[in-house]
């Protein structure tokens, strides 16, 4: 079976991490062996799921579901170790102050290392990654675009040598529709939706990727707009303020849904759940995915 890779992105604050976790949970419940990957230096899920530790090496947190935290630095370190094979030399390379300063800001290098690791399965390059699915809780919109563009940019800048070669092979995988799936999470609000729409268009234009847009936190209102409007007019109703709030909210949701439909045919909605328990919340969301 081919390894599936799912990228989950969106504007900051839209709930993409929880959507990523829900997607990973859903896939694991379907019997697939899933790795949920966080990017960066600090783990959100460690606090969220009250885990004792989340690090570079995957740890199992549920049946069929493991979690890992990957940064450019740790991916590069592993990759260099894998290629160099001489541990002392790899150590010399990474512990050197100058190289550290360089790696910290090197254009596209951390991005390449991360994508290289994520796509190492299909490319059969690097240490083995024994999972059927990888769900990446990826960077927010802007940084995510930079992540995807890194291989293409680097392949253009560096035509020869291993870096150019790897860049081309990574670029090929992230465009492969049979392997990679893209999910852009947004809220029914102007700014997140605008970012989602722009990203979706960019992915289409530059990579021929048809990303799915997930409208998160749709407030489920159990009565009709007409009824709600009625309550907003009743002077004596103690539900008046609440009804006005709901009316605004419903109007905005309808507008935003129409906006989203203009952008894509690949659209899904997740309701807002008033659930504080992290696993329960994730399960509820997984059911809707």
Partner 1 sequence: MAAELFKNTKVLVCVGSGGVGKTTVAASLAVLAAKEGKRVLVLTIDPAKRLAQTLGIEGTKDITKVPGQNFAGELYASVIDHKKTFDDFVSRAAQKSEAAKKIFENSLYKQLSTNLSGSQEFTSLEKLYTAYESGQFDLIILDTPPTKHAIDFLNAPQKLSALFSEGVAKWFRDPEGKKSGFFGHLLQTGTRQVLKVLENLTGSQFIRELGDFFMNIEQWQGKLLNRTVEVHRMLVSPTTKFVLVTSFDQAKLKEAEYFSREIKKGGYHLDTVILNRIFPTWLDLKAEKKGGPDQALVDLYEQMKSFYNHRDTLYQQFESRMEKEAQVLRIPDLVQDISDLSGLESLSELISEREQQK
Beta bridge partner(s), residue 149 = none
User: How far apart are CB 245 and partner 1 at their closest, in Å?
Assistant: 5
> How many helices and strands in the chain, by DSSP H and E?
13, 8
SS3 40: coil
Spatial distance between the Cα atoms of 264 and 201, rounded to a whole number of angstroms:
9
Task: Tell which one of 32, 33, 126, 140 touches partner 1 (CB under 8 A).
Answer: 140
- Asked if residue 280 binds partner 1 (CB under 8 A), the reply is no
Closest CA to 15 of 191, 184, 199: 184
Q: Cα separation of 146 and 153, whole Å? A: 10
For 51, what's the count of Cα atoms within 13 Å in the CB-facing half-sphere? 21
Footprint (CB under 8 A) of partner 1, residues 182-241: 189-192, 194, 220-223, 227-228, 231, 237-239, 241
DSSP per-residue string spanning 90-145: HHHHHH-HHHHHHHHH-TTHHHHHHHHHHTHHHHT-SS----SEEEEE---HHHHH
Q: Least distance to partner 1 from the beta carbon of 178, Å?
A: 28
Binding mask 236-265 for partner 1 (x = CB under 8 A): -xxx-xxxxx--xx--x-------------
| Segment lying near partner 1 (by CB under 8 A), choices 53-61, 126-134, 146-154, 199-207 | 146-154
User: Which of 53, 57, 60, 156 touches partner 1 by CB under 8 A?
Assistant: 156
Q: Where are the alpha helices (DSSP H) in 30-96?
A: 44-48, 72-84, 87-95
Q: Does 11 bind partner 1 (CB under 8 A)?
A: yes
Pick the binder of partner 1 from 102, 127, 267, 287 (CB under 8 A). Answer: 102
Supply the minimum distance, in Å, between the C-beta of residue 163 and partner 1.
4
274 interacts with partner 1 by CB under 8 A:
yes
String of contacts with partner 1 for each residue 45-64, x by CB under 8 A = --xx----------------
Q: How many CB atoms lie within 10 A of CB 57?
A: 11
Q: Total residues at the site for partner 1 (CB under 8 A)?
A: 71
**What is the nearest approach in angstroms of partner 1 to the Cβ of residue 106?**
8
CA-based max dimension of the chain: 79
User: Residue 108, interface with partner 1 (CB under 8 A)?
Assistant: yes
79: contact with partner 1 by CB under 8 A? yes
């Amino acid at each position: 079976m081919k390894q599936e890779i799912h990228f989950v992105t969106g504007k900051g604050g839209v709930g993409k991490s929880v959507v990523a976790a829900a997607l990973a949970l859903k896939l694991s419940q379907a019997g697939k062996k899933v790795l949920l990957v966080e990017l960066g230096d600090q783990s959100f899920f460690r606090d969220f799921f009250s885990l004792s530790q989340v690090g570079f090496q995957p740890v199992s947190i549920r049946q069929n579901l493991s979690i890992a935290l990957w940064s450019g630095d740790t991916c590069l370190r592993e990759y260099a170790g894998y290629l160099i094979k001489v541990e002392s030399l790899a150590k010399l390379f990474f512990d050197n102050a100058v190289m550290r300063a360089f790696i910290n800001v090197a254009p596209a290098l951390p991005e390449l290392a991360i994508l290289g690791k994520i796509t190492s399965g299909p490319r059969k390059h690097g240490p083995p990654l024994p999972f059927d699915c990888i769900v990446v809780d990826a960077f927010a919109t802007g940084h995510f675009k930079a992540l995807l563009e890194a291989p293409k940019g680097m392949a253009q800048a560096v035509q020869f040598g291993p870096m150019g070669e790897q860049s081309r092979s990574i670029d090929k995988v992230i465009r492969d529709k049979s392997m990679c799936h893209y999910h852009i999470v947004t809220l029914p609000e102007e700014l997140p939706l605008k970012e989602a729409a722009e990203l979706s268009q960019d992915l289409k234009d530059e990579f021929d990727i048809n990303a799915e847009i997930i409208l998160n936190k749709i407030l489920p209102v159990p009565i009709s707009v007409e009824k709600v409007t009625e309550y907003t007019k009743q002077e004596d109703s103690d539900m008046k303020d609440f009804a006005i709030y709901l009316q605004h909210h419903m109007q905005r949701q309808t507008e935003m849904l129409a906006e989203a439909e203009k952008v894509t045919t690949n659209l899904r909605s997740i309701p807002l759940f008033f659930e504080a328990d992290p696993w329960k919340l994730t399960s509820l969301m997984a059911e809707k995915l």
